[in-house]
Structure 1
């Protein structure tokens, strides 16, 4: 009898011990915009994936932080970001006043956004999500990462081949020993013309956003006066058009997102404030400042009908779970993305990072600093759409630890755009694809095959290039994306105010001077062909047929006959087949992609072609 009891206890002990260790392929720490997208994609790419989120919601700053009016990437509905946006629009399609214009800024209630993300993750095979589960430690054991998380008050070990740090402040990378940059980089360090002469350890202010509900005229929903309240802190608002400011933050169902600068709810921050040991005390100050703003709006400005909705967030004060953090520490990655990689991506032959793209963005950079902070004013040019390179998410000298959010390896100037939630959701999908590649092929981030990873991302409707005029509904979206990622046909930036959209211009003629350098780089016999064919300023249909014949050794007459037959039937081109006329960029992209496959040529982490 004693032996039986002992045996039961031993077996029970082993069961408990086993239950305290989770084995997975990929673990994502942080369920924010990038983390949830990374987890979804890694799982969809058939790797066992775990998302660990310290808070009660998925979505990070989009939902738990209440930054729920999203205007960036609205013309770039890449993959999971486009999927999320579609679900939000579908949910609100019958709500009076909801803007249904295709590229309108996305507006939603935080709770609804979080619920949509949960619904998406619930349907993904191979994906497990743990909320209210803090991360505490990380170490490497051979080729396996071992992390400690706290579940129901007890430590649990997670073992994984690949880790994604999707925390708001790079906490996982910091514990793993990564190196960081903080604040303004100097011009001499980054080569950015608009960077300051000297580095400055200043980071952008945080904002503890408030969601206010209009309870109707004549009602009074004034909150209790917050601790330390001083009306003078918000005095500059008396000269503002508050009704317009509220209207700018209008949400469905009579709610308003209050994310105001100057003397409102932006709050100065240092990296020291954001360290885990200092965070809670600092957050308390920031929340009191926002509660003071709410009280000021209700009392001094006379909007007693506006109040914090206790149903929106399950918090004692009615504020969001987390602040909106714009900047923290940036890891030192395999490459560092700078402003020139955005404004002039094709101009540096040693850094053709766009060719390694795993995501796209177009957010206009913000500058959120107190007037007395000493932060220099940055004169950004119109911000064009851009590609985010693979090397910016891979930490230098640390294998199989990938970063997103503010820990991305970019300069301070680039972070002012790349941190934006919709950009991060797009990026997160690319990071999840990298993680799945490393886990599936049992390899490391030292041995990434750029094109294989990009092909997987394209399979799941991700964008590599920020072209706004050939979207996923286009028959040849993929061909255009792949040709664009070679640089053979370049995107064209067209400014519109503070932004500059990037166009592919599918109906424009192909210029020989644009495609020739890449052709010479890719195909060994192309030098002989150019010397013999001597194409004119504009490339013709006949020029491309001749080039294809030379590179593939196809019989020219047979090739011509086949293309003439397929021109409108198989390829659905709307133009007439005529070898003498200029070939359009779309026609070139489609035919080059099929017959000479320049995207099939491997590239290294800097974007240079390799044999």
Structure 2
């Protein structure tokens, strides 16, 4: 009888163990902006995908952290970020005064943003989302990973071919054995002109944001005096235009996002971010923000402004901070620096050719305590995020997003921005899908296939602000830009610089000749024979197409003349002697000799 009972218990335990093991192609850990986008893209690429998030909302800093006024990437509505932005604008389209112009700053209530993200994920096949599901541990299993997490109250093992660390602080990468680095890099390490001579562990302040609601002039929403309240900590607000500061964070439905240098910004160290120290540290940061609210209500008379209860937390504050900086991966396949943004075309490596996301958020340096090196960024250009920045050298099939990306401190100040991270997440999702679909590892990535998948799903790989995604030849221009055949032009616009394709300008021979020679061996013969002038003509382009495709020149000319307006919709007349525009060149080059089809390595070098 005892033997039978033991046998039954053994079978029961085995069944329970089996029931608590899940297999998936892609596992995304962290429902941050990057994690949500990564999971959506992985599943849309038709790979079985699971997303686990320890909190109740999707979006991370974007929603649970309250950073709901976004000006980054407003000129670059790439892929899933563009989809999210469009849905937010549609939701508020009838709200009085809501700005729906093409590149308006995006404003939304945090719970609305979380609901929109959840609605998108609910419609994606092959995607399972588990909220309130903390990550526990990770260990290698062949080319994949075994991850332990709490799902539906039970400890569960998830076997995944590829894992994406989309936590806010690189917790997964750290537990997998990746070393994280914090603070300023030394100039000698990165080569960045703006970097300090010596490294410094100081990291940027976090913000514990608050969302206030105007309950009407007669309302009194004064909160209880916070523990340890010291009004002198907010004296920096005296003499400030509080009305203007409130308006800068204005949200729909008479609400305001409060993210102020004086009041919600709080110093943080790497030690504060250790898992065992976070809870106590966060409590101090939240008290600092609550003190600001009390100060506004009692010292400035804003009793009518009360904490919005949309976060569903006991103190009505966001459930997590807006964290600007944490640990960065020490061993990415490449390390992206400021020079890759300011001078992307000037190096032997051509990382722009490997971009899987775009960004334009102006970087800042936020410190409430002295001692940090002073950084004065010049007009900051839009940029592409290279594939190698999310891939780890020594951890196959583990990708990193968020602050754990392989970038320098000075560049993290832009790439950490939520809208940029949503773009990065989509790139990570496509990369994970590539590995899972082709049953390979991150040591064998094909940049062009991954980029092609992203372009299929309306993501941008080149940040050309003057070619909108509605352009019928948007993809052709993106591909030609990523080949390096036609380069973007940086144009300063305040403290940022747009990257422009300038489709109506002319093609300089000096620009295209080096790349054509790099890609096509027959190009040397052609340039020596034809000797085109300083500006490429339509005739030059057709002659080069004939050379590379071995098409009869006369036949090509007759066919092109017929297709010029009927097929390609060019507004100009067909004239072989006329200089060709960059738009015309891009469309025809992409169609006939396709430089984007040439394989590049992880550094962007052309491969034979």
Corresponding position of 1:324: 322
Deviation at 1:7, TM superposition (A): 7.6
Give me the whole-angstrom Cα distance separating, in 2, the residues matched to 1:498 and 1:282. Answer: 34
What pairs with 1:177-326 in structure 2 (closer than 5 Å)? 177-261=177-261, 263-310=262-309, 312-326=310-324
Give me the whole-angstrom Cα distance separating, in 1, the residues matched to 2:7 and 2:236. Answer: 73
TM superposition score normalised by structure 2: 0.98
Corresponding position of 1:151: 151
- Of 409, 421, 424, the residue aligned with 2:421 is 424
Partner deviation per Cα, 1:17-55 (whole Å, 9 max, x = no partner)? 122111101100100100000000000001111101011
SS in 2 for 1:355: helix
Corresponding position of 1:606: 603
Corresponding position of 1:66: 66
Deviation at 1:14, TM superposition (A): 3.5
Partner deviation per Cα, 1:296-349 (whole Å, 9 max, x = no partner)? 111111100000122x01111010010000000110200000001001100002
Corresponding position of 1:348: 347
Corresponding position of 1:542: 539
Corresponding position of 1:103: 103
SS in 2 for 1:271: coil
What pairs with 1:193-592 in structure 2 (closer than 5 Å)? 193-261=193-261, 263-310=262-309, 312-331=310-329, 332-349=331-348, 351-370=349-368, 372-592=369-589
Give me the whole-angstrom Cα distance separating, in 1, the residues matched to 2:472 and 2:314. Answer: 51
What pairs with 1:78-117 in structure 2 (closer than 5 Å)? 78-117=78-117
Deviation at 1:9, TM superposition (A): 5.4
Deviation at 1:377, TM superposition (A): 1.3
Partner deviation per Cα, 1:140-179 (whole Å, 9 max, x = no partner)? 0212200111124431111101000000000000001112
Deviation at 1:2, TM superposition (A): 9.9
**Alignment check: 8 A CA contact 1:164 1:404 kept:** yes
Give me the whole-angstrom Cα distance separating, in 2, the residues matched to 1:558 and 1:514. Answer: 28
**Alignment check: 8 A CA contact 1:79 1:461 kept:** yes
Give me the whole-angstrom Cα distance separating, in 2, the residues matched to 1:52 and 1:274. Answer: 21
**Alignment check: 8 A CA contact 1:357 1:389 kept:** yes
Corresponding position of 2:18: 18
Give me the whole-angstrom Cα distance separating, in 2, the residues matched to 1:62 and 1:101. Answer: 21
Give me the whole-angstrom Cα distance separating, in 2, the residues matched to 1:373 and 1:323. Answer: 22
Deviation at 1:383, TM superposition (A): 0.7
**Alignment check: 8 A CA contact 1:238 1:301 kept:** no
**Alignment check: 8 A CA contact 1:538 1:582 kept:** yes
SS in 1 for 2:492: strand
* Runs (5+) with no aligned partner, structure 1: none
Give me the whole-angstrom Cα distance separating, in 2, the residues matched to 1:151 and 1:428. Answer: 23
Corresponding position of 1:47: 47
**Alignment check: 8 A CA contact 2:430 2:453 kept:** yes
Give me the whole-angstrom Cα distance separating, in 2, the residues matched to 1:5 and 1:44. Answer: 47
SS in 1 for 2:120: helix
Decide whether aligned partners of structure 1 residues 3 and 187 sit closer, same or farther in structure 2, where only a CA change above 3 A counts: closer
Which deviates the most, 136-145 or 240-249?
136-145
SS in 1 for 2:23: strand
RMSD (Å) for aligned C-alpha atoms:
1.3
Give me the whole-angstrom Cα distance separating, in 1, the residues matched to 2:381 and 2:308. Answer: 38
**Alignment check: 8 A CA contact 1:214 1:255 kept:** yes
SS in 1 for 2:361: coil
Give me the whole-angstrom Cα distance separating, in 1, the residues matched to 2:293 and 2:233. Answer: 12
* Runs (5+) with no aligned partner, structure 2: none
**Alignment check: 8 A CA contact 1:54 1:131 kept:** yes
Give me the whole-angstrom Cα distance separating, in 2, the residues matched to 1:6 and 1:403. Answer: 45
Give me the whole-angstrom Cα distance separating, in 2, the residues matched to 1:11 and 1:110. Answer: 47
Give me the whole-angstrom Cα distance separating, in 2, the residues matched to 1:98 and 1:4. Answer: 70
**Alignment check: 8 A CA contact 1:493 1:500 kept:** yes
Partner deviation per Cα, 1:450-503 (whole Å, 9 max, x = no partner)? 101110010000100000111210010000000000100000000011010011
Give me the whole-angstrom Cα distance separating, in 2, the residues matched to 1:144 and 1:493. Answer: 42
Deviation at 1:430, TM superposition (A): 0.5
**Alignment check: 8 A CA contact 2:505 2:582 kept:** yes
Partner deviation per Cα, 1:367-392 (whole Å, 9 max, x = no partner)? 1101x430111011101100000000
Corresponding position of 1:167: 167
**Alignment check: 8 A CA contact 1:229 1:292 kept:** yes
**Alignment check: 8 A CA contact 2:187 2:196 kept:** yes
Give me the whole-angstrom Cα distance separating, in 1, the residues matched to 2:364 and 2:63. Answer: 20
Deviation at 1:6, TM superposition (A): 7.8
Give me the whole-angstrom Cα distance separating, in 1, the residues matched to 2:154 and 2:205. Answer: 35
Give me the whole-angstrom Cα distance separating, in 2, the residues matched to 1:12 and 1:119. Answer: 38
For these two proteins, the number of residue pairs brought into alignment is 607
**Alignment check: 8 A CA contact 1:506 1:586 kept:** yes
**Alignment check: 8 A CA contact 2:144 2:397 kept:** no
Deviation at 1:181, TM superposition (A): 2.0
Give me the whole-angstrom Cα distance separating, in 2, the residues matched to 1:220 and 1:477. Answer: 53
Give me the whole-angstrom Cα distance separating, in 1, the residues matched to 2:152 and 2:42. Answer: 26
